Structure 1
Amino acid sequence: MDKLLESQPGWVDSLSETRSALARLSTAERVADVLRTHLIEGRILPGTRLSEDTIAGALAVSRNTLREAFRLLAHERLLVHELNRGVFVRQLTVDDVIDLYRVRRILECSAVRATAQYTPGAVARVRAAVHEGETAARDGGWQQVGTANMHFHLALAALSGSPRVNELMHQLLAELRLVFHVMARPQQFHEPYLGDNARICGLVEAREGERAAAALADYLDRAEQQLVHAFTAG
């Protein structure tokens, strides 16, 4: 059964909070970025039908602008348009999971190896994401732990110093967050990786890029296996 936008009012309300950021530049790209961020943070579920009127009203943008944003996100494989039914958040397959992790290994492991590209600010963002996840776990906010994990991997990719890598990682992780919803017990899934994140962060801070990349590759292998199992078991 489709998950109607109206059944998840919380994330629609949070769209209204972005109006000030859109006020100066209400472009389709910026609207797409707002929606992509909501997907990365797990606020919009796979299968959700997106109402043009409701979202355009929440963001105070035109329907034409919103439609162009939808087209951009559909190109990124985050949304699908179903004839005579509307626009929906995409529901991924096990093949999508395998391909996402294939690309993540290329981007993230290469980024952590490139120690010559590290900047103090980029390394600090990795540590900040680790702290974010640990704080959310202490508070029992496992949805927030998942969001912090997204921030951690974005920060790892950002070690490369490449705006193009950053952009691609945002797209990949928005897709990945749609995959995470298959895990029925988020604490059981996310909790073991908190320690891994801290260890990889320590290696990054020590500029031991090869060891960090090896630890990350093992990490990604385990996460992929868990998600593939969840998809096939379901």
Structure 2
Amino acid sequence: MGTTEPEVGGLADDRPLLGRTSTAERVADILRTRIAEGYFPPGERLSEDSIGKALGVSRNTLREAFRLLTHERLLVHELNRGVFVRMLAVQDVMDIYRTRLLVECAVVHGLGEPPYAVDRLEAAVSGGERSERERDWKGVSTANIHFHRELVALAGSARTDELMRSVLAELRLAFHVVDDPRRLHQPYLVRNRAILDALQAGDRTAAERLLTDYLEDSRTQMVETYADLVADEDGEGA
């Protein structure tokens, strides 16, 4: 993959998020979000100088943030070359979906009595539909990530939210490799709406069934697509 420095100018807009207590954890959170939203694709080299300057943090703070994200499998350090956004293996993609099935379905299954607070889910679904009308397939992908993040947030668990932020950011690394994002993401807009409708109707059982089918179908499609792409890249590099 390429080794050009990423576009980091927009990171300066995130500097206020650091407040007066600039910590490696807060920097890691910003970079994790940027990875999840597609600003840093797999194989991209992260420049300490550019990112540190954009966020206004020290080199030591930034290196600690990189270490945290390496532990989360979002980054990889290559000796004498620097820090890069990680390229996933097919097994990684399979494990991501295994985790999603366990966590997301458990969240919906464990919901209490309706009504459910689904305003943010509604915003994510509407955002995806708006991006579809604008033929913004990256926007559709981002809205889909937001939908599943807000779905898990219904559990009201900070620990589960933290887990899913990392899992969904890692999933976005796989999305970046797919060369036809429309085919990958567009069919699931309708299914997101169906899950939302079931929750709005207070039918938790139907929502769980729809979500399980959704994730299993998505896993099959994503693993097959990703395996083909990785095989093609290996073949070109041989």
Same fold (TM over 0.5): yes
TM-fit CA distance, 1:97: 0.6
Deviation sequence 1:105-157 (CA, Å, 0-9, x none):
1110111122217775x411111110111111111111011100000000111
Of 107, 113, 130, the residue aligned with 1:111 is 107
- Which residue pairs with 1:226 in the alignment? 221
Counterpart check, 1:55 vs 2:51: yes
Counterpart check, 1:32 vs 2:13: no
Distance 1:189 1:231 in 2: 11
Preserved contact between residue 134 and residue 145 of structure 1 (Cα < 8 Å): yes
- Which residue pairs with 2:4 in the alignment? 4
Preserved contact between residue 118 and residue 160 of structure 1 (Cα < 8 Å): no
Distance 1:231 1:145 in 2: 19
TM-fit CA distance, 1:73: 0.4
Query: What is the TM-score with the length of structure 1 in the denominator?
Result: 0.94
- Which residue pairs with 2:82 in the alignment? 86
Change (3 A) 1:175 1:117: farther
* Contiguous gaps of at least 5 residues in structure 1: none
TM-fit CA distance, 1:3: 3.6
Of all paired residues, the percent bearing the same amino acid is 52
> What SS does structure 1 have at the residue aligned with 2:45?
strand
Deviation sequence 1:147-170 (CA, Å, 0-9, x none):
000000001111111111100000
Matches within 5 A, 1:64-83: 64-83=60-79
Deviation sequence 1:1-31 (CA, Å, 0-9, x none):
33422xx42xx11101111121322111110
2:118 maps to amino acid: V
2:142 maps to amino acid: T
Distance 1:198 1:206 in 2: 12
* Contiguous gaps of at least 5 residues in structure 2: 230-238
Distance 2:61 2:187 in 1: 42
Matches within 5 A, 1:75-154: 75-116=71-112, 120=116, 122-154=117-149
1:39 maps to amino acid: I
Distance 1:142 1:2 in 2: 23
Deviation sequence 1:163-221 (CA, Å, 0-9, x none):
11100000000000001112211111111100000000011112211211111111111
Distance 2:114 2:59 in 1: 41
Of 8, 14, 20, the residue aligned with 2:16 is 20
Preserved contact between residue 130 and residue 194 of structure 1 (Cα < 8 Å): yes
For this pair of structures, how many residues does the alignment match?
229
Preserved contact between residue 114 and residue 159 of structure 1 (Cα < 8 Å): no
Distance 1:162 1:207 in 2: 21
> What SS does structure 2 have at the residue aligned with 1:88?
strand
TM-fit CA distance, 1:229: 1.1
Preserved contact between residue 115 and residue 202 of structure 2 (Cα < 8 Å): no
Query: What is the TM-score with the length of structure 2 in the denominator?
Result: 0.92
Distance 1:44 1:186 in 2: 16
2:214 maps to amino acid: Y
Matches within 5 A, 1:171-186: 171-186=166-181
TM-fit CA distance, 1:231: 2.1
Deviation sequence 1:70-95 (CA, Å, 0-9, x none):
01101100001111111110000110
- Which residue pairs with 2:233 in the alignment? none
Question: Aligned-pair RMSD on alpha carbons?
Answer: 1.4
Distance 1:77 1:230 in 2: 21
